[in-house]
Structure 1
Amino acid sequence: MAQATPQATQPKKGILMSEAALKHVMALREKQGSDLCLRVGVRQGGCSGMSYMMDFEDPSRISEQDEVYDYDGFKVVCDRKSLLYLYGLMLDYSDALIGGGFQFTNPNASQTCGCGKSFGA
């Protein structure tokens, strides 16, 4: 009887990205500069109390206080304080004419605003 070999499991990512979001971010990065990472976080403000933030950043700015998730060589970075509110976040992208752009599906949000760019926890 053949024994099943344990499969290597990839570490879970605290910030998830759909294929469409990753493709769009990579295209935007090419316009900015090829060696940038994506920083995702939260800040106070917005319709529901906290708003999402995303921006490209030089990898040299990654600190020990950051969690880094690798997507085939592309790094997504989140500070640990923001990660308390974002762990499990799914970042998606749609090119629909109405309602298109980046969409955040956050399992930690107790409420979200109509624009989808802010939330309450």
Structure 2
Amino acid sequence: MGDDAPSDRIISLRPAAVARLSALAAASPPGQVLRMGVRSGGCSGLSYTMDFVGSGSVAASDAVDSYPEVSGGLSCAVDAKSALYLYGMELDYSDALIGGGFQFHNPNAEESCGCGKSFGV
């Protein structure tokens, strides 16, 4: 995350996540929005969700943050319920063979599973 990034974003991006999201956004159809959230399930009770969706699926009640540091610009939509669990989270990325992929550093999580894709509060 650069020094010029807004501090009131729900989710901040580490440099490796910016690079990976730039590649994914370039391969996605124009006008896509990154939707992040949580749902019940996973090893620890709640699991992270993350997908590109059309901008028409963004609800008026969603929190939307812009990430101009992602190549081509990117918006991220988070529903109100998920925002409570994700506020302050840092998204990172690793291309390691074991444990690679997006990594969620969530200060709201009281426990996390070994795979890092689910958490409990």
Once the two structures are TM-superposed, the CA of residue 119 in structure 1 deviates from its matched residue by 0.3
Task: In structure 1, give the amino acid aligned to 2:88.
Answer: G
Instruction: Determine the structure 2 residue equivalent to 1:87.
Output: 87
Partner Cα distance (1:9, 1:16) in 2? 8
Name the count of aligned residue pairs.
114
Instruction: Determine the structure 1 residue equivalent to 2:104.
Output: 104
Partner Cα distance (2:118, 2:6) in 1? 30
Secondary structure, aligned partner of 2:109 = coil
Partner Cα distance (1:99, 1:20) in 2? 15
Partner Cα distance (2:12, 2:112) in 1? 19
Indicate whether 1:60 and 2:56 are aligned. yes
Secondary structure, aligned partner of 1:108 = coil
Partner Cα distance (2:78, 2:20) in 1? 19
Structure 2: segments with no counterpart, 5+ residues: none
Cα deviation, 1:2-44, whole Å, max 9, x if unaligned, reads xxxxxx9945111111121122112112222132110000000
Secondary structure, aligned partner of 2:9 = coil
Cα deviation, 1:76-103, whole Å, max 9, x if unaligned, reads 1100100111100110001122221100
Taking structure 1 as the reference length, the TM-score comes to 0.87
Secondary structure, aligned partner of 1:92 = strand
Aligned-residue CA RMSD in angstroms? 1.7
Task: In structure 2, give the amino acid aligned to 1:99.
Answer: G
Indicate whether 1:17 and 2:27 are aligned. no
Task: In structure 2, give the amino acid aligned to 1:90.
Answer: E
Task: In structure 2, give the amino acid aligned to 1:23.
Answer: A
Taking structure 2 as the reference length, the TM-score comes to 0.87
Structure 1: segments with no counterpart, 5+ residues: 1-7
> Does the 8 Å CA contact 2:25/2:74 hold for their aligned counterparts?
no
